Amino acid sequence: MPYKIDETHDPKLQSWVESANDPATDFPIQNLPIAQYESIGDDDEMVGGYCTVIGDQIVDLTELEGAGLLRVDPDAEPGDGMYLWTSDAFSRDDLLPWSEIRKQLSRLFRKDTPDLRDNDEVRKAAMRPMSEVRFELPMDLIGDYTDFYASLFHATNVGSMFRPDNPLLPNYKHIPIAYHGRASTIVPSGTPVRRPRGQLLPGATIADGPPTFGPCKLLDYELEVGFVVGRGNAMGESIDIHDAEEHILGMCLVNDWSARDIQKWEYVPLGPFLAKNFATTVSPYIVTMEALAPFRCPAMERPIDDPKPLGYLTCEDNLTSGGVDITLEVFLCSSEMRSKGMDPVRLSKGSFRDMYWTIGQMLTHHSANGCQMNPGDLLASGTVSGPTRDARGCMLELTWDGDPFATPPKVVPGTQRTPITLPTGEERKFLADGDEIIIKGYCEREGFRRIGFGECRGVIQPAAD
């Protein structure tokens, strides 16, 4: 069940952190995401850990707890509950739930609250400008990673390229499709991504010649939204659709890089392998489900002749408020553009509300067979695409000239593509070395403060020798 709107969402709330009152900030007092940082302390030693972000500042949660300004363990004396910040802390029954911690943080940063504002010693120890820290992965341990295929528009576009008469396989509208990814190559935003190598076919099929081994030629990004498990389940038990969102800590941005030519050769019969597991970039901020409460929306309305989800994937809350209205944008900046001081160019703009399956349905189905979900597990939505060409979430779709959602449908099988022209005159059907992909996300609704997800970015490096 989605969280209720409360005093922490009040658009009139102002903070004594002045940068948090800027209407353009991603991190007003109404957001307060979770992140992990690393920085050089006053004694030239590395410091870091879990923090929240407000305006242009990070705030160390352990420092607040140690100073008695944040209570995490209700049974501990103020200042005694130190070093509780680990992935499993977000699901421990002996600690306060994050919703209660969020309320404490909201009160602490309000303009009229002096406790931290007027405490120079603690403020100096706990707060740093974002520009002076390096953000790590948002959880200290991402033990497992699962990538879904939850956009009907993406699945139909890609299916139409190869099966124009039957783009969706029979199971798609009955079951949330997913595969298990590789957690070891999940990297935080800003980490360079090396072009992968793998087996490639020289022609369209094996009949055109045997495979060779070399660098990927058709490298792509995938615009995705991730969500992080905060509370797990025991092996053999499942998560009920009515309770699914109580197990979700929050959401982040994901770029699940994809080697299209490697994938084309290897994915039959078991699905993606080397084409996907070389790198997955995530934004460093977990925007909590509580912060997202004002931006919930109904699940995507299915055509009347679509099959209804089975009972274990159905509940009234999921239908009326299972969606999340997140605006998503993708930008590209080539090496030449950076050398000339040019701004990144926007490739697409879409919305997460266009997903066929909700995050609650994805998590419920993942655990339906008794699969154990653990705190810190990352689940991603799959490529987020919309019904129009400018809302497609990857180069594979953006440069494809077909449109199965037009009236009448325009489906172009094969490789007919129109490249994207950059401000420098460069053309792209897929990504070149030196290209930087920047994903941004934010939520807006009249009567509430805009909140954002920060950025998820990565620059393509040449393949290894």
SS (H, E, C) 232-293: CCCCCCCCCCCCHHHHEEEEEEEECCEEHHHHHHHCCCCCCCCCCCCCEEECCCEEECCCCH
What are residue 226's phi and psi, to 5 degrees?
Answer: -105, 160
Residue type, 445: R
DSSP reduced 3-state for 362:
helix
Q: Which of 376, 340, 441 is nearest to 139 (CA)?
A: 376
Q: Give whole-number Cα distances, 187 to 139, 378, 437, 443, in Å.
A: 11, 12, 14, 24
What is the distance between the alpha carbons of residues 29 and 291, in angstroms, rounded to a whole number? Answer: 10
Identify whether the C-beta of residue 61 lies closer than 8 Å to the C-beta of residue 33: no
247 is catalytic: no
Catalytic residue among 154, 247, 365, 366: 154
Residue type, 297: C
Helices (H), 74-138: 98-108, 114-117, 120-126
Identify whether the C-beta of residue 236 lies closer than 8 Å to the C-beta of residue 257: no
Residues forming beta bridges with residue 58, ordered by sequence position: 53, 128
As given in the structure block, the two tokens for residue 189 are: 């935003």
Residues forming beta bridges with residue 9, ordered by sequence position: none
Going by C-beta distance under 8 Å and a sequence separation of 6 or more, which residues neighbour residue 170?
none
Identify whether the C-beta of residue 273 lies closer than 8 Å to the C-beta of residue 181: no
- Tell me which residues are annotated as active site: 154
